[in-house]
Amino acid sequence: MDAKKYYIETYGCQMNQADSELIAGLLQDVCYRPTSNPENADIILINSCSVRENADRRAIARLSQFKSLKKSKPELLLGLIGCVAQRDQGAILTDKKYVDLILGPDTYRNLPEIISQAQIPYVDVNLSRTEVYDDLVPIRSSTVNAWVSIMRGCNKFCSFCIVPYLRGRERSRSPLSIVNEIKKALKDGHKEVTLLGQNVNSYHYAEYRFPELLEAVAAIPNLRRIRFTSPHPRDVNEQMLEVMRSHPNICKQIHLPLQAGSSRILKLMNRTYDQEHYLRVVEMIRTYLPQAAITTDIIVGFPDETSDDFEQTLEVMRAVKFDTAFMFKYSPRVGTKAAEMDDNIPEEEKSRRLKVVIQLQKKHTLERNKSLVGTIQEILIDGSSKKNPAEMSGRTDTNKIVVLKEGRSQIGEFCRVKIEEAVGVSLFGKIT
Ligand code: SAH
Ligand code: SF4
Ligand code: F3S
């Protein structure tokens, strides 16, 4: 008999990607094999994101698309997992009776048992104070980068954000299990690790805080690239920057979500820093790591954001000149503090502000990238160019994509590349 097959579709942040890899590991343990075609699958899982309303909609629409497949193949198991499952708590089953599994992010461990017992429909959205999945072995989708989740959950409760309600309280994984997982990933041929957490730098396990963990990871022999995401500006300190400075294998890139430039809005957002503090953190980063890329997240159109508040977001952007940014229109999430406020910035105005930040960011990205033209960068090849699959591409230490116009290379190889051109958001170069 052919092995049963699984198909997982993943939305949202890297934590979700890492979770999907853990689930793949669990399913392979009970002899399931992956398929890239949902029509061949015995189990389909949609690992969903609920951070903004359109993310929610996408997950639900995707489920609906599998309705006819489920009809023609009743033994197929169709599951909604992740953050939309956690938010929905099973209510979706009244409307979508063809869905079999609703699993929140802390309940994946039992998946093999659930499917073997076929207690359908099955809903489990319990959040855990301790689950970190530290003994599970992921099946990784990239051969180059290994996602390694070091903590789960979030205690920050930014007023706009649904994540703390869906991912539960912060809990960290032991340094030993993290280091062991990374050593195994290296043995398996991975070249880079990315430490993951909703609030990666609030990591705390016994006497280990984030800087101590980073140090322990940096000491792993033959590990040439370490990344981490996402840190919170409140938890960036000199000790963390000192560890980054003293270890060449810790990549010089920091994602530092700004959200808004106005201190008044930051207060309403419960971000626990103001504009001045944020700019001080940036200055500290520039002092310790002058070459570092700083990237960010920005929300426009938060309740009561005046044009003066918005102008301050632009001012901070001009002052920092982020390398790249993820930019979003504010989307109220039921259950959060901000959802109780009046969502009073009209949709057209949110769109206008979004356009303005995107345009400004494009200019800054190009400026930053142009400053690299003429330099030699070490890049790690991780795929091929989207525009021209014949051209290989890789990433610099600062996480910028470089497309190779000349020279042969293989996925997983480190190459020295002369940067020749910066166009749009891309860099182009040739192997030296
Ligand atoms: N834990 C991470 C990010 C989590 S969500 C951190 O704090 O950096 C990723 C990004 O989505 C956030 O940084 C924020 O910019 C955006 N986001 C979260 N909730 C949102 C909402 N309700 N509307 C619009 N954007 C939101
Ligand atoms: Fe959400 Fe804020 Fe926690 Fe990030 S730090 S996950 S934005 S509540
Ligand atoms: Fe989305 Fe959940 Fe991640 S809401 S951003 S998938 S934590």
> What residues contact 254, with CB distance under 8 A and at least 6 apart?
231, 236, 285, 289, 292, 293, 294, 295
CB of 392 shorter than 6 A to ligand 2: no
- Residue where one domain finishes, among candidates 251, 277, 292: 251
Domain match, 118 and 146 both: no
Within a domain: residue 321?
no
Domain match, 150 and 113 both: no
Domain match, 167 and 221 both: yes
Within a domain: residue 267?
no
Task: Compute the distance between CA of residue 74 and CA of residue 321 in angstroms, rounded to an integer.
Answer: 54
Alpha helices in 343-385 (DSSP H): 347-370
- Residue where one domain finishes, among candidates 62, 89, 124: 124
Task: Give the amino acid at 331.
Answer: S
Domain containing residue 416: 376-431
Domain match, 65 and 152 both: no
Helix (H) or strand (E) holding 135: none
CATH number, position 42:
3.40.50.12160
Within a domain: residue 367?
no
Domain match, 116 and 221 both: no
Task: Compute the distance between CA of residue 110 and CA of residue 248 in angstroms, rounded to an integer.
Answer: 40
Within a domain: residue 36?
yes
Domain match, 9 and 117 both: yes
Domain match, 102 and 26 both: yes
- Choosing from 23, 45, 83 the residue with most ligand 3 atoms within 8 A of its CB, the one to mutate for a pocket test is 83
Domain match, 94 and 146 both: no
Q: For residue 191, with 0-12 CB atoms within 10 Å meaning exposed, 13-18 middle and 19 or more buried, which class applies?
A: buried
* Total domain count, the chain: 3
Determine the 3-state secondary structure of 259 from DSSP.
Answer: strand
Per-residue burial over 69-83, b if 16 or more Cβ lie within 10 Å, else e, is: ebeeeeebbbbbbbb
Within a domain: residue 95?
yes
Phi, psi of 146 (to 5 degrees): -120, 120
Per-residue pLDDT of the chain (432 residues; tens, 9 = 90+): 689 999 999 999 999 999 999 999 999 999 999 999 999 999 999 999 999 999 999 999 999 999 999 999 999 999 999 999 999 999 999 999 999 999 999 999 999 999 988 678 999 999 999 999 999 999 999 999 999 999 999 999 999 999 999 999 999 999 999 999 999 999 999 999 999 999 999 999 999 999 999 999 999 999 999 999 999 999 999 999 999 999 999 999 999 999 999 999 999 999 999 999 999 999 999 999 999 999 999 999 999 999 999 999 999 999 999 999 999 999 999 999 999 999 999 999 999 999 999 999 999 999 999 999 999 999 999 998 888 888 999 999 999 999 998 878 899 999 999 999 999 889 999 999
CB of 16 shorter than 6 A to ligand 3: yes
CA of 72 to the centre of ligand 3 (A): 32
Tokens of 69: 């497949």
CATH number, position 171:
3.30.750.210
Query: Which residue is associated with the tokens 């033209």?
Result: 373
- Residue where one domain finishes, among candidates 124, 151, 185: 124
Task: Compute the distance between CA of residue 233 and CA of residue 277 in angstroms, rounded to an integer.
Answer: 9
Within a domain: residue 391?
yes
Domain match, 154 and 219 both: yes
Query: Which atom of ligand 3 is the closest one to the Cα of 48?
Result: 6
- Choosing from 50, 52, 157 the residue with most ligand 2 atoms within 8 A of its CB, the one to mutate for a pocket test is 157
